[in-house]
Structure 1
Amino acid sequence: MLTEHTPELETKFARFGEALTLTEGEVIEGYASLFGVADQGKDIVTRGAYAASLAAHQARGSKVKMLWQHDPSHPIGVWDEIVEDETGLRVKGRILTETQKGAEAAALVRAGAIEGLSIGYRTLKATRDKEGHRRLEDLALWEVSLVTFPMLPSARVSRMARRAAEAAKSDAPEAGLRALAEALRAATNP
């Protein structure tokens, strides 16, 4: 097996998982990375790949940055929670609409125009499997960006929470229930 040490910052795109929501103003959550799923670049992130990096951030008191399209000159918010679970790297944070890019990003997420999250990282350890996949085993996580084009097309945004939240803002209290019922029907009848 091949071990790789890559000095450059790499990026990896993933669509928000089904649990993505933009709630309570500008709180956003979803999966920035999914374990065991090959992306379009034939990379597979293994469970535990972020553990050491997350522990190092906690020990230093530093935070993984929330950027717009991987541009370090455009931070758009803060990630308040980043954890590995059985599915992948789950993130929850706040888009800061006080910034121009943050306000734009929040509007685009609400409208469904932006559906992707992408990680910016350095590969510390990776191996190649028989199928030619690069298995990412240890990653130094630097940032998680909101992006236009994800590399994991199998993970999709759930529009249920967004539609229900928008409908709940209307004057008719039953509008939120109608929107939720419509979204559930659409999700169960592809």
Structure 2
Amino acid sequence: MEYKFSPPQAALSVTEGHRIGGYASVFGRRDKGGDTVMPGAYGASLKRMAARGDQVRMLWQHDPAQPIGLWDEVVEDAHGLRVTGRLLPEVARAREARALLLAGAVDGLSIGYRTLRAEAVPGAGRKLIELDLWEVSLVTFPMQSEARITRKSDILRDLDAMTARMSAARADVARL
């Protein structure tokens, strides 16, 4: 399996609790490995997955032993591969990922795939024409600078602030 780490053009974001979204891959942009994903590269793979009732996995740093959430929507549009999903709060690593996202320590996305069709570009890597997509990971260092989380939920910060206020209020009541 190959990996493409994509850094943010539009950042990866967290919204509505543990929801995240962004572009896992942007078309027509050469990555740090010299590859360029072409429009349409994911279409057949996404159709095959849907026909099997399967889904693209959400992993932490490409580790298959560390699933951290679910991608609810994986769509190939004119710009690239857009993903929207949710971190699972019941999973410890997902809670850690959420904290790192909110702090800005992690904001990259990366695809795990197998190349089905590519063309060599002399002195410039490959044009990736058809890919078999397996997973999209949250990563520290994306291969493609535009692959970033763009939506982060302010609700997460609000919940943290509310929890702190409730704890302080309980402490005040306990002193009475």
Name the TM-score, length of structure 2 as normaliser.
0.83
Conserved 8 A contact 1:17-1:30: no
SS at match of 1:103: helix
Q: Which has the higher contact order (CA 8 A, sep 6+)?
A: 2
CA shift for structure 1 position 128: 1.3
Select which of 131, 147, 154 maps to 1:165. 154
CA shift for structure 1 position 155: 5.4
* Alignment partner of 1:153 is 2:145: yes
Which residue is equivalent to 1:184? none
Name the TM-score, length of structure 1 as normaliser.
0.77
Which residue is equivalent to 1:27? 19
Select the structure that is richer in strand.
Answer: 2
* Alignment partner of 1:98 is 2:114: no
Q: Which runs of 5+ in 2 are unaligned?
A: 163-176
Select which of 72, 77, 82 maps to 1:85. 77
Length, aligned pairs only: 160
- Provide the identity percentage: 54
Moved over 2 A (4+): 129-133, 153-158, 164-171
Q: Which runs of 5+ in 1 are unaligned?
A: 1-8, 172-190
Q: CA RMSD in A?
A: 2.2
Note closer, same or farther for the CA distance 1:150–1:53 as it changes in structure 2 (3 Å cut): same
SS at match of 1:67: strand
CA shift for structure 1 position 72: 0.4
Note closer, same or farther for the CA distance 1:46–1:107 as it changes in structure 2 (3 Å cut): same
SS at match of 1:29: strand
* Alignment partner of 1:18 is 2:10: yes
CA shift for structure 1 position 151: 1.4
Name the larger-Rg structure: 2
Q: How does 1:8-157 map to 2 (within 5 A)?
A: 9-18=1-10, 20-154=12-146
Which residue is equivalent to 2:165? none
